[in-house]
Amino acid sequence: METIMSNEVQRRLSVGEQVNIIDVREAAEVRNGKIPTSIHIPLGLLEFRMNELEKKKEYIVVCQSGGRSSRAVKFLDYHGYHVINMEGGMLAWEGEVE
């Protein structure tokens, strides 16, 4: 499984790179803040909403600590998506939230 550190995601965003982030946390968790530009698809709905994603794009998947995003990455990878797990999740995120 491909992984990325949160500081690398922050660096990419700070230099204006197009970064596609999927937040798989529950709605109550996202209300406390999410990474700007990320899309919220709770892990339990991922199977039903993966058609909203494009297989040609790279996605970074994030959750609270890295466990759920790891499961999401395995699931999406199996279905042919290019996905990367952000290690440490939002607990490791030190950047801006919205």
pLDDT digits (tens, 9 = 90+) for 9-50: 999 999 999 999 999 999 999 999 999 999 999 999 999 999
What residue segments make up the domains of the chain, in order of their start?
3-92
Query: pTM of the full predicted structure?
Result: 0.95
CATH tag, 3-92: 3.40.250.10
Dist. CA 22–CA 35, nearest whole Å: 9
Q: Which residues are catalytic?
A: 63
